[in-house]
Amino acid sequence: MGYTDQRFDVNLSILFTELPLLERPAAAAAAGFKAVELWWPWIETPTPDQAELDALKKALDDAGTQLVGLNFYAGQLPGPDRGALSVPGEESDRFRANIDVAADFAASVGCKALNALYGNRVDGVDPDAQDKLALENLVVAARAADRVGAILLIETLNKPESPRYPLVSAPAGIAVVDKVNEATGLGNAKFLLDIYHLSMNGENLPDVIAEYASKTGHVQIADNPGRGAPGTGDLPLEELLDLLKNAGYDGWVGLEYKPGDRPSAEAFDWLSN
């Protein structure tokens, strides 16, 4: 099994970022990938002009790349933010405004997974109030995802790099997944299992996989330490992906790692080793 038995996609928000957005799908295709994923590409706005959405769709289509994962609007990412949906006021409003825009774009390109980053804790705001707001927004997002035949992903990040993000363990992420599914009755909320983030939190990865593979809708990888390509750190990524496959996960595995000091096109040599 190992790497040759996996379906890998490239995250174009962390790889190929030396290129303009619209050139990245073709670059991924030239590197041998037929599938890609993206953080919300328009950091400044949850509601870009239709022309910008159309241009990205054309770039994906022209390259022959399938978009398999898309984040909802998440604030300044990369940057200080880790999502918007639990942040009261303007950011929550921006997330709400983005829901149908993102869902409709996903539908237009056949993307079946939408990731909703939870958002950081805010000074002076009751965490319970943030969690209540989060659930309200996630329910709306889950229904929009369902409308276009997609799943809603809930992601666990890591505490060292995201100290204000409340979902920094697999059980915390799963608890939100369960609450959303209970509230909607749709069953389309799933866990985004990011091996790098979970490893940074010191979790027992084989145990997490055994317990939560059935609730996992998408997987992302990077090595640790360094968040580099597989083989640059200490994680047994081939073994962990085999465990996921043996546990029944047959979805995409997103390559969400930093290419280092070299061009992104040269950051996939581990696949041929």
Give catalytic residues, as residue numbers.
155, 256
Q: Is 11 strand, coil or helix?
A: strand
- Rounded Cα distance, 183 and 59, in Å: 37
- Rounded Cα distance, 129 and 86, in Å: 9
Provide CB contacts within 8 A for 261, sequence distance 6+. Answer: none
- Rounded Cα distance, 23 and 27, in Å: 6
Question: Which stretch of DSSP H or E encloses residue 10?
Answer: strand 7-11
Q: What is the DSSP string of 188-221?
A: -EEEEEEHHHHHHTT--HHHHHHHHGGGEEEEEE
| Token pair listed for 120 | 């950081």
The CB-side HSE value for 265 (13 A sphere, CA atoms) comes to 11
